[in-house]
Copies of this chain bind each other. A is one copy, B any other.
Amino acid sequence: MLSDRQQMILNAIVDNYIHSAEPVGSRTISKRDDIGFSSATIRNEMSDLEELGYLEQPHTSAGRVPSTKGYRFYVDNLIQPHLLEEAELGKLKQLFAERILHSEQVVEYTAQILSQLTNYTAIVLGPEIFEHRLKHIQIVPLNETQAVAIVVTHTGRVENKLIDLPEGIGAGEIERLVNLLNGKLTDVPLWQLRQRLYQEISGEMQRHTEQYEEILQFLNNSLTQEEERVYLRGATKILNQPEFRDVDKVKDILELLEQHDQLLNVIGMQGDGLTVRIGQENQLDAIKQCSIITTSYSLGGKPVGMVGILGPTRMEYGKVITVLNHLAEGLSRMLTSQFEK
């Protein structure tokens, strides 16, 4: 275990490095107000800390830099509660006050704010409300051969798809089908839809089943499969970091972020609460120089989505964690109050 003084010094080093982005030397630390030891003493301690794996030295005559293990200890034990500024709190409050009803917009706006507040890249996922229940099905014919199928869930989510109509089908028949579907399937959870669809409907409409095949297919496919909505904001913020002034270093990261389907792997829906993955702890090679902090937000106590921040390992952990906690809490409250009606 680290002595109090070692912790104090480690804390000072991480703190300094986070703000300066330069390897920190013993003298810099000894000059700090909160440290009352000479540079020589600090040097000895730093040497020990390096031996223990908490620090690294880019080269002999340079200062020292926290290792992944060092950051990990800092995050787990040393981090100090960060107070948000008035203006920052204001922005968050404003977000929650905003009367945006569609979840997509909330998510998008959240990512925006998050990136603005932290100056890092924000990734926001969800909300995935797993217990979508079917509220309404509608089929609107456009012409002889095409129609739009629309499905509304009880949470207000709307999905739609252009479909081809079976040949020779009439408006009356479509209406009957729609009525039947609505009658039988309202309030059925989406995940049961596949099963119920064929069970209830195709029994009743045996003679038409073939004709309706495509329509049923649509309902079956595009509704039971959850579409993950990921929003990314401030991807280019990483370019402001001095350790990423080299194009080769950022290229992989930006390319990764550009593939939206990869983003899920990046923020990796794992733990429900606050998760910090530091540098090497990340699975993906492209972001082994980065840290990712995520937390989940919930609806009625049940986690439904995630908010996350991607930044350099030399990240303002304290601030980011505070912001994320505030945000997740606010979002949860907002969602819950909105849908509990």
A residues with CB within 8 A of B: 101-102, 135-136, 138, 140, 142-146, 148, 150, 152, 154-156, 158, 160-164, 234-236, 239, 244-247, 250-251, 254-255, 258, 341
Contact = CB atoms under 8 A, between A and B. Distances in A.
Given A245-B247, A247-B250, A251-B239, A152 B150 contact: yes
List the 9 shortest-distance A-B pairs measured between CB atoms, nearest first: A101-B162, A158-B160, A136-B140, A140-B152, A236-B254, A156-B162, A239-B251, A236-B255, A245-B247
A142 B155 contact: yes
A304 to B, nearest CB: 17
29 contacts: A101-B146, A101-B164, A102-B161, A135-B148, A136-B138, A138-B138, A138-B140, A138-B150, A142-B152, A142-B155, A142-B156, A143-B341, A148-B156, A148-B158, A150-B152, A158-B158, A234-B258, A235-B254, A235-B258, A236-B251, A236-B254, A236-B258, A239-B250, A239-B251, A239-B254, A245-B247, A246-B247, A247-B247, A254-B254
Nearest to A143: B341
A136 B160 CA distance: 13
A135 B146 CA distance: 13
Given A102-B161, A247-B247, 5 more contacts: A136-B140, A138-B150, A144-B341, A150-B152, A254-B254
A152 B258 CA distance: 31
Contacts of A160: 152, 158
Contacts of A135: 140, 142, 148
Contacts of A163: 101
Contacts of A156: 142, 146, 148, 162
Copies in the complex: 2
A150 B326 CA distance: 34
A318 to B, nearest CB: 27
A162 B102 contact: yes
A164 B156 CA distance: 12
A9 to B, nearest CB: 33
A286 to B, nearest CB: 12
Which has the most chain B C-beta neighbours within 10 Å: A138, A158, A164?
A: A158
Nearest to A245: B247
Contacts of A136: 138, 140
A152 B161 CA distance: 11
Nearest to A235: B258
A246 B248 CA distance: 10
Contacts of A158: 148, 150, 158, 160
A146 B161 CA distance: 24
Which of A162, A163, A234, A255 lies at the interface centre, i.e. has the most chain B CB atoms within 10 A of its CB?
Answer: A162
Contacts of A234: 258
A109 to B, nearest CB: 14
A258 B233 CA distance: 8
